[in-house]
Structures are given as C-alpha cells and as structure tokens.
C-alpha cells in the first residue's frame, strides 16, 4: 500500500515541526479517502468516545494492555478525529496495511465516529457519557447522540455507562452490551448545592419524567422513566466503594487511581470492563495493572503547582463551555477539607480560531459553591471577568469576596496581595498558557 | 405586582435560558416593583391568565416537540393573551412553537400555536453564529447568538434587523413580533446579555420607567455587555467569521 509509505514519510517529516499527529493522516486521506478500509486491524481493537474522560480512559486502557504484555498502537497523544487515527494506524502498519500490534486503542471524537467507523469496525467501543460540552461547536447532547448513533457499527460490541441515560439509550436494539457504572456506596451527590440545570429531568427516549433513586453526579445515577420504564441497567462491572485512596471494583478488587473523584471512578470502571471482557484478563490481573497508574499523557496533566510571590498555587486545568468539568472543579476546590481557600477563575477567550463569545454556559455552572464559608476570596479574571462576577452575584455569592481583573497582570498582583488560605487557579487549555507565561515571568 | 409565567423551565433549559425569567424578576424587585414567577410545565398547569408576561426558552428539538404537545392544551388561551397584548418572550427553539407548524426530521408536521403565521422545519445540520442586532424596544444594540438546526419561514413583522451575523446564517432580519409577542432564535439569557433590553421590558411591565440600577450585580452586567459589544464590533469591522 503506497498510502502506508506516504503516511509514514509524512509523519517522519512533519514530526520535526510538531505536526506529526493529524496532518500526515489528513494528507493521506486527501489522496486516498477510503484508505482505512484497506487496513487490517489488530485482533483486539478498542475505541473510546464520549464527552468527558475519553483521553484518560484511552490512556488507562493503553497502559493496561501494555502492562499485560500486548504490543499496542494508539492515538492517545494525538488527534482523535479520522486524520489522527489514520496517522496512528498507518504509521504502525506494514506494506500490506496490516497494523503490527496486538491491540489498538483509539480515542475518537463523539461527533466524528461516523466518519472513522464507516471505514473500520473496532471490536469494542467504550461510550463514556454525553454531557453539555462546547455547545457552540457541538450543539446539545441530543444532537451529539444522533451523530454518535451513526458512528457505532453493528459489528462493534458496546461498553457503555449504565448510569448515564442519554448515551446508554444508544444501546437500544443492541445485543451483548457490557455495562459499567459507579454504585452509590462509592459516590453520591450531596444535596447542599442546587444545580443550575437538570439533564436528567426527562427521559431521552420518550420525554417522560424521570425518577432517580440516587444520583452520582449531574444526571448520572439510578434513573427510571415514569412513562416508558427506561431504566438504568445493572452494571457488569462497577466501582462499588472507596477505601482511603483506593477504589473498590466489583466489591472485591482494589485499584488506586491517580485521583479519587467521580470521573476517575467511571474511567476505571470502563477500563476494567475492557480488561476483563475484551482483553481476556482476569479481574485480579486487571485490577493489579490498573493500580496506581499515573497518567503520563501531556494532555492529561491537569494539576500543576506554581509559585506566585510567596503564594503556593494549585492550578487545575478545566474546559470552557463544559459545566461538568467546571462544577467538578468548583466542588473539589471549595471542599471544606482544604480549610480556607481562594479561587481564581480565568475566562479570557473561548476560541483561537472563530468568533465564539457566547457566555450562556456560565449559567450552567454552579457558582453557589463559592458561597461556602471556607471560600474567602474569588478572583474572576480575563476579558469575561465581569460576566463571571455578575453570574456569581446572581447566585448569592458575597460581593465582598469577589475581585474582578479583566487584565491578567492585575490578577497576578491580586493573587499575591489579596488571597487567603490555599489558592486554586482554574481555566481552560485556551487560557492556561497565558497564566503559565505570567508565572514564568514572575519567577524569571 | 408583575406576574411572570415561566414555561417549561425544566425541559427547555438549554443555554441558560432560565435566566431570562429570573433576571427580569430581579430587575423589577431591585426597583421596588414586586414580581412573582409562576412555573408552568408538564404535569403542572397553573392558571396563566393573570400573567403579565410569558417566558419560554430553548430546548432540544425533541424536547421542544414534547413541550408543544403539552402546550397545545392551552392553545386558545395563549392566542387570546397574545391578541390582548400580553407580553411573551419565546427564545431559541420555543420560537418555533409560536408558528403554524413545526416539521420534524422525519417530515412530520406538528401543529403549532399559530400565534404568528409561519413554519419551522428541523434539519440535520447544526449552525452557529453571533449577532449584533437592532430592534424597536431599545436604542442599544442587541447582542446574542444562535445555535440551531431549524429553518424559519414567516412573513410576519421581524423582531430584529441584523447588523452583524458572524457566520452568515440568517439574513437581514430575524425573529417575529406580533403585538407584544416576541419570537427569536436568539438563545441563552438575552435579558442578562442585553441590560438595556432588560430595562425596556421591565419598565413596560412595571408601567413606569424604572430608575437606573446601580447594584454591584448590574455594574458587572453592563461592563460585560460593553466588553462583548467591543469584540463583536471589531469582528464585524474586520469581517471575521
């Protein structure tokens, strides 16, 4: 296959200028649009898709497979659209198009599965969840669900989140679905915060009203539609408890995650399914291999430490236009276990490419977390600082706590002068480099 | 007392539309004008006849059809309220419900409220654009965005003239206006995004011109508006998409 050599050569050359992830595949697809139909996949191919957590889950499954002694090809460091997957697969293929690996682990954007998986059929596809995510680009979760449905080939076995009703409804009419979940004994949403919206209010199938026995997070939990009876399936594998810094999986197996939080619990449960049901490992071996994995992927370094003046800063990478990510961060940093805290939220820019300035997503965030008494100062920074402040004030956050800095240099000064207690800074990857650059300048 | 009927806040809850009802109530109360928000949704149908304004927001397309099915039970009452000059603000997908029909992705036409003559047709393609618009309710420019999979056809009086449409998805005018009924695809908390529009609507409902709001909250709202206006004016001047 000429395409294989072309893609490999392009990757070699373009990697030198940092463009070796997506562009080689894009060039190859331009010349041979159906090139992936000619590829012979490894015997075990696992794709990962969904709104949140797919990069982490891909990395966990990749590390799990490698730990089990399989040779693995993955796009975990690169683009998750068809171009990136083409680069990853062809770069690992021989001249006949056979991918030289035991296992392929492929992260795929949820809206673009339909293009990639019209050409290749993964043996299994993990569908993590569908949340409100970058709605200016993606539209709403019902729209994404419709798009994702086109990208789940009948020949692929689905590994699905039993707790998330929107994506789980895609299993209708499919046999042999593997379900994962998190039991209420591990995580259960507290009642102290009234959420801004509820995507679990109505059934994604019939729009009847839903009842929940409990919720794990947002619209994830034990749901049942009062009209059509659609309900949470019983998971085959689940995080069933927490013991210190370990998850308990299936009531028996201890796995230490990088961080004990809800998203990691779902990621571990999904990876556990892949290990036991697809890779053919024992539960004991799967738990052993998943234990204490520190995610190395650069995209996943979400927590960093900085020093600003005499203040130690914990930086937490978040995602603009993704209320689940921000709410999880707000919940975490305002936890009273930290003692007194100050929180800095930067929203300066949504997109580097397009005119995209819609701030309606701020109304999906639970600013009420900042009402907690241990939150001493909240600095809203960046061009949209006033939008953040008005949203927080609307939620009843005390005006005396709030500082707004549309200028990021002013924000740095206020971090030094006005914060109290432990200091957290959070923003999206579009704005994170600005904070990073200011910290470097500060410490130069 | 201004009574605000808030329709289907739990089902049509996309893009923070719920803020339109609560921001309006806050504006009235901060000016000493009592207000009451009356929630109306599936399985909860309080009498709306005493409402001064009905506010309805944006949902998914299927969610909107489910709401329409429920709302048809009071179709005649809503038409009478519209004819009598009651205010209605239907934003995002709920705008389609004001028209004669909504056609879904399978080609099935669902009868609408018929308050304004026109049709709405759902399609598979998602479109997003940001706007600067003008309307008769305020001399300030109205800012907002549209994120849609629908096409609207109507000969009714448009609500807005379009000054800037970043992705070029709409044309020269947008929305509909009939008496005091406003239908627009603009979505999200447009009364928060556009404080002068909020003042205008609140004053009309209060029956008097409300004094300037100088609360800390409002100062941030005003600054946020100015910031976005500058961005969009700059994008317009440079022809950015």
Query: What confidence tens digit (pLDDT) does each residue in A364-396 have?
Result: 999 999 999 999 999 999 999 999 999 999 999
In a shared domain, residues A173 and A269 = yes
β-pairing, B160-165 vs B138-153, is unpaired
Is A424 inside any structural domain? yes
A146, closest residue in chain B (CA to CA):
B124
Distance CA(B178)–CA(A421), nearest Å, equals: 55
User: Which of A278, A296, A314 corresponds to the end of one domain?
Assistant: A296
User: Which of A242, A275, A296 corresponds to the end of one domain?
Assistant: A296
In a shared domain, residues A66 and A88 = yes
Residues of B in contact with A130 (CB under 8 A): none
Q: How far is B126 from chain A (nearest CA, A)?
A: 7
**Tell me, what's the pLDDT at A8?**
77
Cβ distance of B62 and A207 shorter than 8 Å: yes
Size of interface A-B (CB pairs under 8 A): 118
- Return the axis-axis angle of helices A2-15 and A82-91, rounded to nearest 10°: 100
Q: How far is A200 from chain B (nearest CA, A)?
A: 10
Q: A285: number of CA atoms within 13 Å, CB side?
A: 15
Per-residue pLDDT tens for A87-101?
Answer: 999 999 998 999 999
Q: B36: number of CA atoms within 13 Å, CB side?
A: 8
**Tell me, what's the pLDDT at A22?**
83
In a shared domain, residues A143 and A236 = yes
- pLDDT band of A276, cuts 50, 70, 90: very high
- pLDDT band of A192, cuts 50, 70, 90: low
Is A359 inside any structural domain? yes
- 3-class state of residue B143 by DSSP: strand
Cβ distance of A143 and B11 shorter than 8 Å: no
A397, closest residue in chain B (CA to CA):
B217
Mean residue pLDDT of chain B comes to: 95
Is A189 inside any structural domain? no
Is A212 inside any structural domain? no
Is A322 inside any structural domain? yes
**Tell me, what's the pLDDT at A191?**
62
Residues of A in contact with B42 (CB under 8 A): 209
**Tell me, what's the pLDDT at A201?**
87
Place of tokens 């529009």: B197
Distance CA(A370)–CA(A372), nearest Å, equals: 5
In a shared domain, residues A262 and A122 = yes
What average pLDDT does this structure show over B194-208?
A: 97
Distance CA(B2)–CA(B28), nearest Å, equals: 8
B225, closest residue in chain A (CA to CA):
A387
- B187 touching A (Cβ < 8 Å): yes
The two structure tokens encoding residue B76: 């005649």
In a shared domain, residues A24 and A107 = yes
- pLDDT band of A259, cuts 50, 70, 90: confident
Residues of A in contact with B227 (CB under 8 A): 383-384, 386-387, 406
**Tell me, what's the pLDDT at B73?**
96
Per-residue pLDDT tens for B142-175?
Answer: 999 999 999 999 999 999 999 999 999 998 999 9
User: Which of A255, A278, A296 corresponds to the end of one domain?
Assistant: A296
Of A138, A143, A383, the CB nearest to B227: A383
Provide the domain limits for residue A326: 302-443
A380, closest residue in chain B (CA to CA):
B220
Distance CA(B94)–CA(A386), nearest Å, equals: 29
The two structure tokens encoding residue A92: 């690992």
Q: Residue A341: give its domain's CATH number.
A: 3.90.190.20
A395, closest residue in chain B (CA to CA):
B217
What average pLDDT does this structure show over B15-39?
A: 94
CA-CA distances (angstroms) from residue B28 to B32, B139, B188, B207, B224?
7, 20, 20, 11, 20
The two structure tokens encoding residue A63: 């590390």
In a shared domain, residues A46 and A148 = yes
Distance CA(B95)–CA(B116), nearest Å, equals: 10
Of B60, B193, B235, the CB nearest to A355: B235
Of A135, A384, A394, the CB nearest to B147: A135
- B44 touching A (Cβ < 8 Å): no
Provide the number of structural domains found in chain A.
Answer: 2
The yes-or-no verdict on residue A397 having pLDDT over 90 is yes
- B193 touching A (Cβ < 8 Å): yes
Reported residue count of chain A is 444
In a shared domain, residues A109 and A248 = yes
In a shared domain, residues A262 and A321 = no
CA-CA distances (angstroms) from residue A247 to A66, A188, A266, A338, B54?
22, 14, 11, 22, 49
CATH of B2-237, one of 1.10.357.140, 3.20.170.30, 3.40.50.2300, 3.40.50.880: 3.40.50.880
In a shared domain, residues A80 and A9 = yes
Per-residue pLDDT tens for B73-118?
Answer: 999 999 999 999 999 999 999 999 999 999 999 999 999 999 999 9
The two structure tokens encoding residue A255: 């796995």
Strands of chain B (E only): list them. Answer: 2-7, 35-40, 53-56, 87-91, 101-103, 109-111, 119-135, 138-153, 160-165, 173-174, 176-178, 181-184
Per the CB < 8 A criterion, the answer to whether B7 and B174 are in contact is no
Write down the domain spans for chain B: 2-237
- B229 touching A (Cβ < 8 Å): no
Provide the ipTM. Answer: 0.96
Closest CA to A355 of B148, B31, B192, B237: B237
In a shared domain, residues A393 and A280 = no
Q: What angle (nearest 5°) sits at the alpha carbon of residue A429, between those of residues A426 and A431?
A: 70
């Amino acid at each position: 296959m000429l395409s294989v050599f072309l893609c490999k050569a392009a990757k070699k050359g373009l990697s030198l200028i940092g463009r070796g992830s997506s562009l080689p595949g894009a060039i190859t697809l331009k010349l041979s649009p159906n090139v992936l139909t000619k590829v012979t996949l490894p015997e075990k191919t696992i794709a990962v898709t969904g709104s949140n957590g797919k990069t982490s889950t891909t990395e966990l499954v990749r590390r799990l497979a490698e730990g089990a002694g399989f040779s693995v090809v993955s796009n975990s460091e690169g683009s998750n659209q068809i171009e990136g997957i083409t680069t990853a697969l062809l770069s690992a293929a021989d001249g006949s198009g056979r991918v030289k690996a035991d296992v392929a682990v492929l992260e795929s954007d949820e809206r673009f599965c339909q293009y990639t998986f019209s050409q290749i059929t993964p043996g299994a596809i993990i569908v993590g969840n569908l949340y409100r995510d970058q709605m200016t680009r993606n539209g709403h979760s019902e729209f994404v669900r419709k798009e994702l449905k086109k990208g789940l080939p009948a020949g692929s076995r689905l590994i699905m989140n039993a707790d998330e009703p929107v994506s789980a409804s895609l299993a209708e009419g499919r046999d042999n679905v593997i379900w994962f979940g998190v039991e209420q004994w591990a995580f259960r949403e507290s009642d102290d915060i009234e959420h801004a919206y509820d995507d679990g209010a109505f059934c994604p199938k019939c729009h009847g009203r839903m009842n929940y026995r409990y919720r794990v997070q947002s619209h994830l939990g034990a749901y049942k539609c009062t009209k059509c009876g659609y309900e949470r399936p019983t998971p085959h594998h689940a995080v069933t408890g927490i013991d210190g810094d370990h998850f308990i999986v299936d009531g028996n197996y201890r796995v230490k995650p990088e961080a004990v939080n809800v998203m990691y619990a779902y990621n571990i449960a999904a990876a556990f399914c892949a290990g036991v049901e697809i890779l053919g490992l024992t539960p004991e071996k799967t738990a052993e291999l998943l234990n204490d994995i520190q995610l190395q992927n650069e995209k996943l370094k979400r927590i960093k430490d900085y020093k600003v003046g005499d203040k130690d800063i914990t930086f937490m990478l978040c995602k603009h236009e993704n209320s689940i990510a921000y709410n999880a961060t707000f919940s975490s940093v305002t936890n009273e276990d930290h003692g007194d805290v100050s929180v800095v939220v930067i929203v300066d820019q949504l997109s580097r490419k397009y005119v995209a300035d819609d701030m309606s997503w701020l109304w999906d965030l639970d600013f009420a977390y900042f009402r907690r008494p241990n939150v001493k100062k909240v600095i809203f920074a960046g061009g949209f600082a006033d939008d953040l402040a008005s949203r927080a004030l609307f939620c009843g956050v005390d005006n005396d706590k709030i500082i707004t800095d549309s200028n990021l240099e002013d924000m740095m000064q206020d971090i030094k002068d006005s914060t109290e207690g432990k200091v957290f800074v959070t923003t999206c990857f579009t704005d994170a480099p600005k904070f990073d650059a200011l910290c470097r300048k500060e410490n130069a | 007392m201004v009574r605000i009927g808030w329709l289907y806040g739990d089902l049509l809850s996309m893009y923070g539309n719920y803020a339109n009802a609560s921001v309006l109530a806050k504006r009235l109360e901060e000016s000493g004008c009592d207000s009451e928000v009356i929630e109306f949704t599936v399985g909860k149908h309080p009498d709306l006849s005493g409402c001064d304004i009905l506010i309805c927001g944006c949902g998914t397309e299927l969610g909107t059809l489910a709401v329409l099915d429920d709302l048809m039970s009071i179709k005649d009452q809503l038409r009478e309220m519209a004819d009598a000059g009651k205010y209605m603000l239907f934003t995002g997908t709920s705008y389609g419900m004001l028209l004669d029909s909504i056609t879904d992705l399978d080609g099935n036409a669902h009868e609408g409220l018929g308050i304004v003559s026109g049709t709405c047709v759902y399609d598979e393609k998602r479109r997003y654009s940001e706007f600067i618009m003008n309307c008769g309710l305020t001399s300030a420019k109205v800012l907002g965005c549209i994120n849609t999979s629908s096409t609207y056809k109507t000969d009714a009086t448009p609500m807005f003239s379009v000054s800037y449409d970043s992705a070029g998805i709409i044309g020269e005018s947008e929305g509909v206006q009939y008496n005091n009924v406003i239908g627009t695809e603009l979505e999200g908390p447009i009364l928060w995004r556009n404080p002068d529009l909020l003042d205008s609507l609140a004053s009309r409902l209060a029956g008097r011109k409300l004094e300037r709001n100088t609360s800390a909250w409002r100062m941030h709202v005003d600054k946020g508006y100015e910031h976005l206006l500058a961005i969009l004016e700059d994008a317009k001047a440079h022809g950015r998409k």
